[in-house]
Each structure stands twice: as C-alpha cells, then as structure tokens.
C-alpha cells in the first residue's frame, strides 16, 4: 500500500498564533514539492484583511497590509520533504527531550502581521519518518491536533458542494507535527488529500505547561507518550494559559503544582493543588500523570450535562440546615429543616462546624418517576464520592423521585445520614460540589467514583478509560450546588 498523507484544513483565531504554549496551533502542514531547504509560510484571512508572504528558500518576505481586522486566519506551513528526521528524542538537542519538543513556544513579541519564517521555524522539532503501511495527517500536537480528533477527507482543498468527503477518519496518536490516523484501506486515498476537522475529543484535558515545569521535570520518554496519545486514560490538549483547565508548574521548592481555573476555587484562593494538608508531588512523570488522569475524570464528570436538558425546568434542588426535633426508639436523632432554602443561586457559603447538620430536598415536577444518584466532588482532593441514599420502599432497587413529588437526602428517615462539614486547619476555605444525576432508567454510576491522587500517591479509578455509564437512549439531566465552607475559628483553636 502506498504512503498517503493528509493535509489539514483548519480555521482558527488569529490570537491563537502568537504566544501559544503549543507552538503554532491549528496550522496547516503541506508537503514541499521542491528540494528547497527553506520553508514557505502563507498567511491568508477569510475577510481579505491582509496577506503575508515569505517565499523561497533564501528569499525575503513581503507583507501587504490593508486592514488587520480579520479574526480568522488560514496558515500554511510547508517543509522540505528531504529534511533529515530525528531518530530519537535526544537528537533534538540539549534539553529538547520529548516533552520540550511537544511544546514549542512561539515568541510572544512577534506580531501577527510580522511573523517570519525564522520566527515560526525557531526550535522546530522532529519530523518523523513515514511508514509505508500507514496514513498520517501532516499536522500534529504543535498545530493543536489531539488523539480522537475527527476529520473528513477530501480530494481538493476548496470546500464546495462538488468536493464531497471521501470518508471520515479519527486520529490515533500524535507526534509534534504529524498525526497518525485510524483508517480503512478501502478508502483508496490519493497520495495527497485534504482533511477538514469536524470533531474534537470530548474527554480531553485542556492544559498549559509552564517553562518552569519543563526545566524542573524529571527526564522521561513517557512525557512524549502522554501527549501523543499512548496513555489510554489521558488525552491532553495544550491551550493558552487563560483558557486552560489546569496550569502545570512548579513552586519555589521545584515540586509540581496544579492550578485549576474553577471559578469558585479561584475566588477563594484554593485553586492550587496539592492543598497544604497533602504531601508535595515531585515533577516525575508517573506522579504527574496520576494527578492529571484523576483531574480529567473529575472535571469531565463534573461539567457534563446533556445538550437537551430534558428536566431542567422540572427539578428543584433545595438545601436546608437541620435540627434535632426528637429521637427514635433506638436513640437515633430525628432531623427536620430549620432554615429557608439555602440554595437560591446554585451556591451557598457558610462557616463549617461538626455541630451543624444539612440536608437536601429534591422536587420533581415532571410527569414521570425519575431515578436519583448524588455525588460529592471535592476540588481540593479531586475525589468523587457517591452519597448513599437509603431506599425505604422494599419493592424498589434504586432511589426514585416520584412524579409530582420529592425525595429527601440527609433527613426524613432514621437511616439517613446528614451532611456535615469540616475545613482542614491548614486551609481557610474549602469547597464541596454536590451533583445530582436524574434519569428515566436506573443507571450504575460506579465508574464515577475515585479516591484522591494525593492520598497514597495514586488515584483509584475504576477503569482504564473514563466511562459514560448512561445509555444514550435514556433521558437524563444533572444539577449542582456549590458549598463554600469557611474555617470555624473555634475548630482552628
């Protein structure tokens, strides 16, 4: 079978070009049809705002500017086909290991209209040798491609009704400038064809890696495997710092830090992990991957909701402070609400004390019974715990919120255990996020649970892949309440 390569056709924001931690994100790589030793770079916009040209192997560049107002730019970067590839990650030069080659920073000082061939190709990494038995995309991690991205394949690079897709392919693994494709031999692709990105991996972790971490990281070939897609549990997507889910860096002691962009964590100054109550994490590949894998699952399950939101207007999640009003025959306290609904805007802030009890009341105004599952997400530990909901009716196997009825959690039954909160003495604040899943059929959510990666070194994840336990045919929805806990001065003493 002949070697086929696919040229990526991507449109992206001009602001993504300069200062990207991933080098030149969302670029086009095109096979060079000449023997020149240089690179030709073409910038062209969608709105005819400007055109920049740097041509020839030794030629000078020309930039004709009319208005630099375009928000989308098409970038084509062509490299000579006979360029000597790197045989090993160490061939990239001193400190240019697999990790560094995957993250080639473009100088922030370069203006979008003034980028030259030298600027773009500075510190360009390895271009691997192609194999005769595979298909590959001439764009890789430096262009923002991640494993499980999807592309439609076309014979021409002009989008038109006549240029219909030959088929759809998925990215398997990614190198710095090349992506290896999962593809069927029956597509009969030409030697050069074009790919248009139509989908990104749903379960990827947007990450920014600082230069300080790169310098401090313990050398390992496993770094390159993490970004290329060899790590089945983890798909990383390098992005700009301000949109990253996590910023990976080191502190003054050269220990790894993970800074989350969760709004509540940032607001209360507890966005940097590990928290003070945990041991530091060395910048070793195995320990860092453990934390990032747990964070990927934690963030994906916390953020996801169905597009349709079928029960959004039918479910109310109420949160109450409880009081002891009586005791049962066996001495268990009987708890009832002692406050108005504390969940007015999806968030409640309070002083945490073990003397205080809290409970939930879930109201179902829909016309059908709904199955309920409640999970506790901790941003400071990355643990996911399932809240036990006692089933009073022996005929039921799963907790149900009856139609036009309600379900209480933490009170209402002698078997219920109320919510209690305590902030670690080393922290001024802590956050707990309660997430309720409701569904039209019973769902086994065991795959969501995980222990903290900061307790004992590795998180306990139930599978080697982040699972979606919900059948796509079933209706489901999800609701959250964020609980901000402040340190109780009495507990600190």
Rounded CA-CA distance 264/115 in Å is 38
DSSP-based three-state secondary structure for 420 = coil
Exposed/middle/buried for 95, CB within 10 Å: 0-12, 13-18, 19+?
exposed
| HEC assignment per residue over 267-320 | HCCCCEECCCCCCCECCCHHHHHHHHHHHHHHHHHHHCCCCCCCCCCCEEEEEE
Closest CA to 44 of 76, 16, 20: 76
DSSP-based three-state secondary structure for 412 = coil
DSSP-based three-state secondary structure for 187 = helix
The answer to whether the bond into 259 is cis (omega within 30° of 0) is no
Exposed/middle/buried for 85, CB within 10 Å: 0-12, 13-18, 19+?
exposed
Closest CA to 419 of 427, 408, 429: 408
DSSP-based three-state secondary structure for 120 = helix
Rounded CA-CA distance 214/218 in Å is 9
CA dihedral 185, 186, 192, 193 (to 10 degrees): -120
**Contact by Cβ (8 Å): 5, 192:** yes
DSSP 331: S
CA dihedral 245, 248, 251, 253 (to 10 degrees): 150
| Vertex 435: Cα angle to 433 and 437 (nearest 5) | 175
What are the pLDDT tens digits along the chain (493 aa)? 334 556 655 433 222 222 233 333 333 333 333 333 333 333 333 333 222 222 232 333 333 333 333 333 333 333 333 334 443 433 333 333 333 333 334 444 455 555 555 555 544 444 455 555 677 888 877 677 888 788 888 888 887 888 888 888 888 888 877 888 887 666 777 778 888 888 777 788 999 999 999 999 999 888 877 777 666 668 888 888 999 999 999 999 999 999 999 999 999 999 999 999 999 999 999 999 999 999 999 999 999 999 899 999 999 999 999 999 998 888 888 999 999 999 989 999 999 999 999 999 999 999 999 999 999 999 999 999 999 988 877 778 899 999 999 999 999 988 889 999 999 999 999 999 999 999 999 988 888 999 999 975 444 444 434 456 666 678 999 999 999 999 988 766 5
pLDDT of residue 400: 94
For residue 160, the tally of other CB atoms under 10 A from its CB is 8
Rounded CA-CA distance 277/305 in Å is 32
Rounded CA-CA distance 370/366 in Å is 9
| Residues 95-138 pLDDT 10s | 333 333 333 344 444 555 555 555 555 444 444 555 556 778 88
Token pair recorded at residue 190: 């030409």
User: Which residue's structure tokens are 């009081």?
Assistant: 323
Structural element, H or E, at residue 223: helix 222-228
Strands, DSSP E only, in 387-427?
A: 400-401, 405-409
pLDDT of residue 230: 62
Rounded CA-CA distance 142/93 in Å is 18
Give Cβ neighbours of residue 70 (< 8 Å, ≥ 6 apart): 14, 45, 46, 47, 48, 49, 50
DSSP 419: B
Global pTM reads 0.69
pLDDT of residue 114: 57
| Vertex 392: Cα angle to 387 and 394 (nearest 5) | 115
- The pair phi, psi for residue 464, each rounded to 5°, is -80, 5
pLDDT of residue 160: 80
pLDDT of residue 232: 63
Q: How far is CA 266 from the centre of its chain?
A: 18
First to last CA, the chain: 74
Rounded CA-CA distance 237/226 in Å is 10
pLDDT of residue 276: 94
Closest CA to 407 of 328, 468, 396: 396
Exposed/middle/buried for 209, CB within 10 Å: 0-12, 13-18, 19+?
buried
């Amino acid at each position: 079978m002949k070697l086929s390569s696919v040229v990526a056709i991507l449109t992206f924001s001009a602001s993504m070009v300069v200062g990207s931690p991933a080098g030149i994100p969302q670029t086009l790589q095109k096979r060079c049809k000449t023997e020149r030793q240089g690179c030709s770079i073409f910038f062209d916009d969608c709105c005819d705002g400007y055109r920049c040209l740097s041509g020839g192997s030794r030629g000078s560049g020309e930039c004709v500017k009319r208005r630099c107002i375009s928000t989308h730019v098409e970038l084509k970067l062509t490299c000579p086909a006979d360029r000597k590839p790197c045989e090993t990650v160490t061939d990239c030069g001193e400190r240019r290991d697999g990790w560094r080659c995957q993250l080639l920073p473009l100088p922030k000082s370069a203006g979008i209209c003034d980028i030259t061939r030298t600027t773009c190709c500075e510190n360009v990494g390895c271009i691997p040798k192609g194999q005769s038995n595979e298909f590959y995309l001439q764009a890789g991690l430096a262009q923002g491609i991640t494993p499980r991205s999807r592309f439609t394949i076309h014979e021409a690079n002009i989008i038109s009704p006549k240029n219909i897709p030959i088929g759809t392919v998925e990215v398997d693994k990614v190198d710095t400038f090349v992506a290896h494709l999962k593809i069927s031999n029956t597509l009969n692709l030409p030697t050069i064809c074009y790919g248009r990105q139509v989908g990104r991996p749903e379960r990827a972790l947007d990450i920014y890696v600082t230069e300080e971490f790169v310098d401090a990281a313990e050398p390992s070939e496993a770094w390159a495997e993490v970004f290329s897609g060899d790590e089945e549990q983890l798909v990383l997507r390098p992005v700009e710092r301000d949109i990253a889910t996590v910023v990976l860096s080191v502190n003054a002691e050269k220990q790894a830090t993970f800074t989350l962009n969760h709004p509540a964590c940032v607001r209360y100054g507890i966005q940097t992990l590990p928290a003070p109550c945990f041991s530091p994490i060395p910048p070793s590949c195995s320990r860092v991957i453990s934390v990032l894998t747990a964070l990927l699952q934690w963030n994906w399950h916390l953020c996801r909701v169905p597009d349709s939101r079928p029960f959004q207007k039918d479910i109310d999640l109420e949160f109450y402070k409880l009081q002891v009003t009586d005791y049962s025959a066996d001495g268990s306290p009987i708890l009832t609400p002692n406050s108005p609904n504390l969940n007015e805007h999806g968030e409640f802030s309070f002083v945490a004390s073990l003397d205080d009890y809290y409970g939930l009341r879930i109201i179902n105004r829909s016309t059908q019974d709904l199955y309920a599952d409640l999970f506790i997400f901790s941003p400071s530990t990355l643990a996911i715990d399932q809240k036990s909901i006692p089933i009073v009716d022996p005929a039921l196997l799963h907790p149900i919120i009856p139609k036009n009825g309600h379900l209480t959690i933490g009170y209402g039954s002698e078997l219920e255990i109320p919510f209690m909160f305590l902030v670690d003495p080393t922290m001024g604040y802590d956050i707990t996020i309660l997430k309720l899943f409701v569904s039209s059929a019973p769902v086994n959510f065991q795959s969501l649970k995980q222990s903290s990666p900061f307790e004992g070194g590795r998180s306990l994840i139930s599978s080697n892949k982040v699972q979606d336990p919900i059948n796509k045919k079933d209706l489901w929805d999800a609701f959250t309440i964020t609980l901000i806990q402040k340190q109780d001065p009495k507990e600190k003493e």
